[in-house]
Amino acid sequence: MQRYSVITNKLPREIVLLKGLPCVWSKCTFCDYIDDNTSDEVHIQRVADEELAKVTGKYGRLEIINSGSIQELTQPVLDQIHALLTRLNIEEFICESYWSYRKRWDETRAFFPVPTRIKLGVETFDDHVRNGVLNKAMYFDDPSDVARLTDTICLMVGIRGQTKDMIRRDIDILLKQFAYGCVNSFTPNTKSAGLIDPDIKAWFREEFSELDALPNIEVLWENTDFGVGEMSLPIL
């Protein structure tokens, strides 16, 4: 398992994959990423000690991901990150969180001593695919409801049930309403049987190749394109 990497092409930063406590939801049909979490807090701390020691602060930007949400890291690890951000003069911090934690996002941002960007895995703005197919349990009336709470989202393409028009709408919403986004081309994993639509994946790669040129949009053609994880663990 690769847990530390450096991203140099867009938003240059160091990225660390930590272990977290079990995901509060843990029922998304596409995600075996949660297999990396644990209730063993000693193990969580050991991984944090080893991986955070690799952070240098060279780009002034740090991203921490884990097998769920930033709120599912233990308090000692959160304190460790807080101290690291200060000691290394990090200027921007990026982390992930699930929708059910949204009422705590202001608290999360206030906890860290630097501007903190919270990344939300929306996957798609089509309610049926997001909740009926992917079982995200993420309900809102309009994309603007999400945009009011965070400026950073992740989308996923290549899912059974997605249409070209759905994806065009998702990308349009991303570009118009959010400052930053990550688009994940769904990678085969232990839960992907029957979920992947290879034709939609191929069409997206041809139709939206220009996204690679946008400075605020990162496209993960493979789930390990950030240099962390392993092929069976999609970064969401």
**Nearest to 52, CA basis, from 23, 73, 24:** 73
pLDDT, mean over the chain = 93
pLDDT > 70 fraction of the chain, expressed in percent and rounded = 96
- What are the structure tokens assigned to 125, written together? 């703005």
User: What residues does each domain of the chain span?
Assistant: 4-220
All residues at 6 or more sequence positions from 123 whose CB lies less than 8 Å from its CB, including other chains: 129, 130, 134, 136, 154, 155, 156, 159, 236
Each residue of 171-230: pLDDT tens digit? 999 999 999 999 999 987 887 778 999 999 999 999 999 999 999 999 998 766 687 876
Higher-scoring residue by pLDDT: 60, 232: 60
pLDDT for res 234? 37
Per-residue pLDDT for 83 more than 80?
yes
Three-state secondary structure along the chain?
Answer: CECEEEECCCCCEEEEECCCCCCCCCCCCCCCHHHHCCCCHHHHHHHHHHHHCCCCCCCCEEEEECCCCHHHCCHHHHHHHHHHHHHCCCCEEEEEECHHHHHHHHHHHHHCCCCEEEEEEEECCCHHHHHHHCCCCCCCCCHHHHHCCCCEEEEEECECCCCHHHHHHHHHHHHHHCCEEEEEECCCCCCCCCCECHHHHHHHHHHCHHHHHCCCEEEECCCCCCCCECCCCCCC
Q: What is the pLDDT of residue 58?
A: 97
Nearest alpha carbon to residue 48 among 88, 3, 7, 92: 3
Is pTM beyond 0.85? Reply is yes
Cβ neighbours of 58 (radius 10 Å)? 11
Which CATH number among 3.20.20.70, 3.40.50.720, 2.40.10.120, 3.60.15.10 corresponds to the domain 4-220? 3.20.20.70
Q: How many residues does the chain have?
A: 236
Please, what sign has the CA dihedral across residues 108, 59, 13, 3? Answer: negative
Rounded-to-integer distance, Cα 2 and Cα 228, Å: 5
